[in-house]
Amino acid sequence: MPTSLKVNAVDAARLTSAYPEVFRRSFAQRFGLALGAGITALYLALCFVAFDVGPAFVNGRWDRASVYLQDWYSWRAQPRLRFEGGAVVPQWSSRGQYPPGAEIDWLRPLPDGGYSVIYEDADNRVDVRATKVDIYIDGTRWPVAVTEDGVVPPPATEENPYPATLSYDGGKVVVTYGFEGQAEIRSSQVFVQRRFLGWANFFFDTRSPFWGKSFGELVRLAAIGDRLDPARSNLVHMGDDFLGNRVWQHADILSKLLQTLVMAFVGTLLATLFAFPLAFLAARNITRSRLATWGMKRAFDFLRSIDMLIWALFFTRGFGPGPIPGIAAIFFTDAGALGKVYAEALENVDDRQREGVKSVGASPALVNRYGVVPQVLPVFISQSLYFWESNTRSATIIGAVGAGGIGLKLLEAMGTNADWDKVAYMVLLILLVVFVFDAISNALRSRLIGGPGHC
């Protein structure tokens, strides 16, 4: 049975006198946590009001965000069925998901010259003719007349209102079939959007003889099939057509990704080489001149206080777009940051090793070489590896402002507002590279400093 411990008045007074910080806590010790939490909550509430967070969420275009998200993992065929000279003429977007003259199962010609756009099934389709468009929603027909003055929407009454997926705003009729897509009917055309899972023509565009073939057919052609081009094997032919895909531009994207990696590596390497010797000048226990250490540390502060993005904008104006501004931006920012980290590591070395080397009459250079560098070198390399890994991500951001690399390509794809599947492709490539470099960096750091995974 647990027993209670009783303390008499004399012992209580003695303990209170010996440990006053335990028994007589200050106001901050007693109420500091609650006060800090209250101040944080008040600050967040003020930010919520000052930045109009509520109205921003209420007025956000969530429907548009949903469409963009769907574009990441699917593709849209977007033919325009134009009314020209009493006929319906299909006009395709520049991405060209189908070759000329291809038979498309969801876009079927009608006997009278029009086209039927099939969505979920035959009960959910849009029949387009030169003077009228028939919309079918779950088998119910909603006719739309097309005139030179505009479109005449289907009649609706209180007893027979429009379904939620059909709308008319005075200039166009819009019908939506969920993920399958939608159709926008105007007086001059019907703008069709038909959505499918996956990325269209990711491996081969419509010019390639390998377009539309299954995985099994491609394997057979690569292994035992007759050469489609006598000058090269089918496997090489496939690689050339993959890299030369004019829609996905694999060769250009991969070259830009390599450019980003080179920017990160060269910028970090130059910053390391620059910061390494200057950190000795900034360390107070190595350089006895206070003016020199103070000036060097302020120089490091200046370099790292200006964000890498600002440096990239500055150098882009001076050198023009390309990898040179990106390398310079990484170099300037990391030189300041690494210099500060290196100097702090030097100021915390064990002076006994320095004194031991100095006691045998070694010069200051040899003292630093054998008494200091062995202590800090693992830390220096570990920090440089971490910055290299981080700069792999940062190089993408600064590339978007003109410093070259995949960041600029990513910005271009976002600017079209129609290539979000290509944006997803580049984001996945960046994530893959970051994961690989993170694993390499962690493995090297663990070997250097003896962390987890050290053998």
The predicted-structure confidence for 198-245, as pLDDT tens digits, reads as follows: 888 899 988 888 888 889 999 998 888 888 888 888 899 999 999 999
- The DSSP code for 5 is P
Q: How confident is the model at residue 72 (pLDDT cuts 50, 70, 90)?
A: confident
pLDDT of residue 7: 63
* CB atoms near residue 146 (< 10 Å): 22
Q: Taking the mean position of all CA atoms in its chain, how far away is CA 440? A: 21
Amino acid identity of residue 385, one-letter, is: L
The span from the CA of 302 to the CA of 339, in Å, is 11
Q: How far apart are CA 158 and CA 156, in angstroms?
A: 7
Rounded distance between C-alpha atoms, residue 363 and residue 239, angstroms: 60
pLDDT surpasses 70 at 1: no
Percent of the chain at pLDDT > 90 equals: 24
Q: What angle do CA 296, 299, 305 make, to 5 degrees?
A: 140
Q: How far apart are CA 277 and CA 300, in angstroms?
A: 13
Say which residue the tokens 């806590």 belong to.
25
Phi, psi dihedrals of residue 4, rounded to the nearest 5°: -85, 145
Phi, psi of 307 (to 5 degrees): -60, 150
User: Cβ of 173: how many Cβ atoms within 10 Å?
Assistant: 23
Candidates 330, 332, 328, 322; CA nearest to 259 is 322
- Which residue is it, tokens 């006994």? 352
Residue 452 has pLDDT above 60, yes or no: no
Residue 240, pLDDT score: 92
How far apart are the C-alpha atoms of 215 and 237, rounded to whole Å?
A: 15
How far apart CA 153 and CA 130 sit, in angstroms, is 15
What's residue 33's pLDDT? Answer: 85
First to last CA, the chain: 50
Predicted TM-score (pTM) of this structure: 0.76
pLDDT computed for residue 271 by the predictor = 93
Instruction: Give the pLDDT of residue 450.
Output: 59
β-bridge pairing 173-176 and 181-185: antiparallel
Range picked from 12-26, 258-272, 282-296, 355-369 for highest mean pLDDT: 258-272
Spell out the residues 6+ positions from residue 433 whose beta carbon is closer than 8 angstroms to its own: 257, 261, 392
User: What pLDDT does 176 receive?
Assistant: 92
Q: What is the mean pLDDT of residues 129-135?
A: 90
pLDDT band at 380 (very low <50, low <70, confident <90, very high): confident
Coil vs helix vs strand at 90 = strand
- What is the rounded CA–CA span in Å between residue 165 and residue 163? 5
Of the chain, the percentage scoring pLDDT greater than 70 comes to: 93
Q: Minimal CA–CA distance to 268: which of 327, 312, 309? A: 327
344-355 pLDDT per residue, tens: 888 887 777 777
The rounded mean pLDDT for the chain is: 84
pLDDT at residue 116 is higher than 80: yes
Q: What are 134-190's pLDDT values in tens digits?
A: 999 998 899 988 888 888 888 877 777 888 889 888 788 999 998 999 999 998 899
Q: Residue 454 pLDDT > 50, yes or no?
A: no
Range 395-420 average pLDDT: 81
What does residue 181 show for φ and ψ, rounded to 5 degrees? 130, -160
Structure confidence at residue 21 (pLDDT): 64
The answer to which of 3-17, 89-103, 242-256, 416-430 has the lowest mean pLDDT is: 3-17
